[in-house]
Amino acid sequence: MVLAAATLSSTACRDWREAVIPGLANSEPQQAQLHDRTPQPLPGHPGVTFTPRARYQNRAWAVALDDAPDDAWAEVVPLDVALAWGPVANPGVLTELSLHLKRRYVSVRWSHPLPLSEQDVMRHLSNHHLIPSTPAVMTDLELIRPGDLVTLDGLLVDLDGPAGRMATSLSRSDVGNGACEVVYVERVEVARPE
């Protein structure tokens, strides 16, 4: 679902980071462990199963995007989006960050002191490997751009298939390989500041 840009009013800026509206993505992602972890076939992808690990919802700002991953999972997981929430979802912090997302990894750098610790930055910024549950969800996911306010609802899952295994993180405090959320997206909302 794409929300009209008019729902978020702000001054048009050259740099999308300056248009981020503080307070709209303050909450931590919501996560609830699932007891039934039975692997299920992934519709439209023969030989691929997903194992639900937790229900997941996150309202955050898209800060980096890779809509053309080039790996064995590209057909199943066609989009990676780095999301920021909480204290990182603030123009005063985001304008100091250099963000890059490629080959399933997000890198973040800064050259000036931040009002947050490195741990706080990394706990409020994460790469999300996105699996659309329907063609309509895929259509909405394809609209995401850096600077959009994104709400994801779905499942954190582990994937198994011919390409191997892609396991989700269940923690927001981990970093490095294996720290990304693998999300089977059941619903998405995208809002763009003017």
Q: Residue 125: is its pLDDT beyond 50?
A: yes
Q: Which of 155, 111, 149, 148 is nearest to 133 (CA)?
A: 155
Q: In the predicted model, what is the mean pLDDT of residues 41-54?
A: 97
Q: What are the residue ranges spanned by the domains of the chain?
A: 5-191
> What local confidence, expressed as pLDDT, does residue 14 receive?
67
- Give residue 7's pLDDT: 43
Q: What are phi and psi of 118, to 5 degrees?
A: -60, -40
Residue 64 · residue 82 · CB < 8 Å: yes
**Percent residues over pLDDT 70 in the chain:** 93
User: What average pLDDT score do residues 39-56 get?
Assistant: 97
> What per-residue confidence (pLDDT) applies to 33?
96
Please provide residue 56's backbone torsions phi and psi, each rounded to the nearest 5 degrees.
-145, 135
Quote the pLDDT of residue 68. Answer: 84
pLDDT in tens, 85-120: 999 999 999 999 999 999 888 999 998 889 999 999
Looking at residue 47, what is its pLDDT? 97
User: Between 193 and 4, where is the model more confident?
Assistant: 193
Count CB atoms within 10 A of the CB of residue 117: 10
Tens of pLDDT along 11-24? 444 689 999 999 99
